[in-house]
A and B are shown apart, each in its own frame.
Chain A
Amino acid sequence: MVNKGFAKHYYLMMLPGLIWLFMFSVLPMFGIVIAFQDYNPVQGMLGSKFVGLDTFEYMFSLNDTASIFFNTIFIAVMKIVGNLIIPLIFALMLNELRHMFIKRSIQTIVYLPHFLSWVILGGILLDIFSYQGPVNQLLSAFGFDPVLFFGRADLFPFLVVGSDIWKEFGFNTIIYLAALTGINTALYEAAAIDGASRQRMLWHITLPGIRTTVILLAVLGLGNVLNAGFDQIFNLYNPLVYSTGDIIDTWVYRAGLLNMQYELATAVGLLKSVAGFILISLSYFLAYRFTNYRIF
């Protein structure tokens, strides 16, 4: 049926995109060799001497390495769990709402923070939680001492997770709501005739109806265990909270671009890329096995 001569048009269509991706995604991959070199900026990647795995040995001898990996995973795991559960609860509540206009309005409002950058939201949060900001004003009105929220290493990871959930819960609700609308309404009608209460419907119809979606999102979350959110932390942190708030990406930025430790930063970045690639591939594979999900 299809004309075989079309293939050359298909190649032509893909050409601009392939060149674009090659120049700005594939070409940088060759820069990975720096991790195995004693990199000299003057001689470049081609002229620098290869030193094998020396940089990796050095990396594992640093105390920083263990703590940045721990911080990354700790923050990321809390985010994955929170971003799975809170939107689910929110979607279930929204689904119980009967006024369509109010439902739409609430949705429109809660999606909004997702579209604002962490530069903007970081600026707003730092002001709100600052020493003389509204949160501390409120605390002092109740007789509490002001707290330097974003200067406290012990609070920092939780503020990061909390603010991320606040920013994203509305947007993450979309998938759940789509799954909820996919449930056959005849089931609810039948249950109502049998005299089931709303709680019973929730337990026996709604939750089983979206079980696959929850499993799918949980499995896909696995791929993000090393992504604790560069933009957010970069815009919220300061030297006081490096001990608990420094993640792989922020550390790579500082070590590589500010302190010019090119080899070390590349090596850490490479380790993250490889581990991340394996985790994402694994999560896609598991999602396909358990829920028949395919990205394409």
Chain B
Amino acid sequence: MVYEKSARSKIFDIVLLVVLISISITCILPLWYTLSLSLSSKSAAAAGAVALWPVGFNLNSYVQLLQEGQFFKSFWISIQRVVLGVALNFIVVPLMAYPLSKTTKDFKMRNVFMWSVLFTMLFNGGLIPLYLTIKNLGLMNSIWALVLVGGAQTIVFNIILTMNFFRNLPSVLEEAALVDGAGPWYILYKLYIPLSVPVLATVTLFSIVYHWNEFLYGLIFMTREEFYPLQTYIQQLTVAVDPSSMTEDQYKRMSELSNRTLDAAKLFIAMLPVLAVYPFLQRFFIHGITLGSVKE
């Protein structure tokens, strides 16, 4: 590309760089602040002395966290949920995406299934019928309620992404395999899945993040705190008061009473898994999303 090299253009570049870096700093500053707060002393946090660096550095809030049994119970439930959810997503999504990526010539019922599956994404019964269904199925306080309900709502989007990716694979590959006598299962597992790493990584990342972050189903399907996944557990810390009536003073006092360093430590630990998987998968998802969803 050819660029003009005037002084004005150079100043523009520098201003641009400063603006962009400032904007990106605002995206990590709150996370950094939370870390600093969790490492500060309680009194410094209460006095509002913590800004960018921990004041009165100590690990007390993390020690306190280690003693809190429920935090780790919830952490463990979230881990189980993510593992089960991702595994099911990984099995079901390619299995559905492959037949749906066929044309009606090869798979007559393709459009009927496609529209039915899409309908479940566009329309739902609402919160109350969902709650009553889970209750009638006897899945209250079961981890399967979390895995299956959340999964059913996210697989359709993942199926569409994967299906679009499959459709963009060169059809001569499949034809060659057919000539060699391969069946549909062989083609899916030995040909399509190995070629679809970017989209499958994207879908896996979405599934991990979804199951890790979801809190509402934990709140409504689990009647006892010991079954709460981590996000639900953390969410409940902030709304421990009766929500039906509150005055401004009560609200103010509530926010002052909270143990800010301990809460910050919980929030920080809760975001660690996402921070950990994100750098490894992010190079895939940009590729996966744009290939699967935007078509010229």
Question: Which residues on A are within 8 Å of B, measured CB to CB?
Answer: 1-3, 6-7, 9-11, 13-14, 16-18, 20-21, 23-32, 34, 44-45, 90, 93-94, 96-98, 102, 105-106, 108-113, 115-128, 130-134, 136-137, 148, 151, 166, 170, 174-175, 178-179, 182, 185, 188-189, 192-193, 197-198, 213, 230-231, 234-235, 238-240, 249, 252-254, 256-258, 262, 265-266, 269-270, 272-274, 276-277, 280-281, 293-296
Q: Which residue on chain B has the smallest CB distance to residue A121?
A: B30
Residue B132 lies at the interface, judged by CB distance under 8 Å to chain A: yes
Main secondary structure of the interface of B (DSSP, over half): helix
Question: Which residues on B are within 8 Å of A, measured CB to CB?
Answer: 1-4, 9, 12-13, 16-17, 19-21, 23-24, 26-28, 30-31, 33-34, 37, 46-48, 50-51, 88, 91-93, 95-96, 98-100, 102, 105-109, 113-114, 117-118, 120, 122-133, 136-137, 148-149, 151-153, 155-156, 159-160, 163-164, 175, 178, 183-185, 188, 209, 212-216, 220, 231-232, 234-235, 237-238, 243-246, 248, 251-252, 255-256, 260, 263-264, 266-267, 270-271, 274-275, 278-279, 282, 286, 289-290, 293-296
B109 CB, min distance to chain A CBs, angstroms: 8
10 more CB-based (< 8 A) A-B contacts, given A2-B106, A253-B127, A265-B128: A6-B106, A21-B152, A28-B130, A124-B30, A132-B255, A188-B1, A189-B1, A273-B126, A276-B122, A277-B123
B224 CB, min distance to chain A CBs, angstroms: 16
Residues of A within 8 A of B123 (CB): 29, 273-274, 276-277
- Docked Cα-Cα span, A148 to B184, in Å, equals 61
Taking a contact as CB atoms closer than 8 A, the residue among A6, A102, A197 that contacts B17 in the complex is A102
B156 CB, min distance to chain A CBs, angstroms: 7
Question: Would A174 and B98 count as touching, CB distance under 8 A?
Answer: no
- Docked Cα-Cα span, A110 to B178, in Å, equals 45
B62 CB, min distance to chain A CBs, angstroms: 17
Q: Which residue on chain A has the smallest CB distance to residue B268?
A: A120
Residues of A within 8 A of B99 (CB): 10-11, 13-14
Residues of A within 8 A of B232 (CB): 119
- Docked Cα-Cα span, A89 to B180, in Å, equals 52
B113 CB, min distance to chain A CBs, angstroms: 6
Assess A235 versus B238: contact at CB under 8 Å? Given A134-B33, A134-B51. Answer: yes
Question: Would B248 and A31 count as touching, CB distance under 8 A?
Answer: no
Question: Would A174 and B286 count as touching, CB distance under 8 A?
Answer: yes
Assess A31 versus B132: contact at CB under 8 Å? Given A10-B99, A128-B33, A296-B160. Answer: yes
Assess A94 versus B252: contact at CB under 8 Å? Given A10-B107, A117-B213. Answer: no
Question: Would B234 and A130 count as touching, CB distance under 8 A?
Answer: no
A181 CB, min distance to chain B CBs, angstroms: 9
- Docked Cα-Cα span, A192 to B113, in Å, equals 51
Question: Would B95 and A134 count as touching, CB distance under 8 A?
Answer: no
Question: Would A240 and B107 count as touching, CB distance under 8 A?
Answer: no
Residues of A within 8 A of B48 (CB): 132-134, 136-137
Question: Would B245 and A148 count as touching, CB distance under 8 A?
Answer: no
Question: Would B184 and A257 count as touching, CB distance under 8 A?
Answer: no
Residues of B within 8 A of A9 (CB): 183-185
Q: Which residue on chain A has the smallest CB distance to residue B254?
A: A238
Q: Which 7 A-B pairs have the closest CB atoms?
A: A31-B129, A269-B126, A117-B213, A24-B152, A10-B99, A28-B125, A25-B120
A88 CB, min distance to chain B CBs, angstroms: 14
A263 CB, min distance to chain B CBs, angstroms: 9
Q: Which residue on chain A has the smallest CB distance to residue B213?
A: A117
Residues of B within 8 A of A174 (CB): 286, 289-290
Residues of B within 8 A of A128 (CB): 30, 33
Question: Would A198 and B4 count as touching, CB distance under 8 A?
Answer: yes
Question: Would A24 and B290 count as touching, CB distance under 8 A?
Answer: no
Question: Would A124 and B34 count as touching, CB distance under 8 A?
Answer: yes
A180 CB, min distance to chain B CBs, angstroms: 11
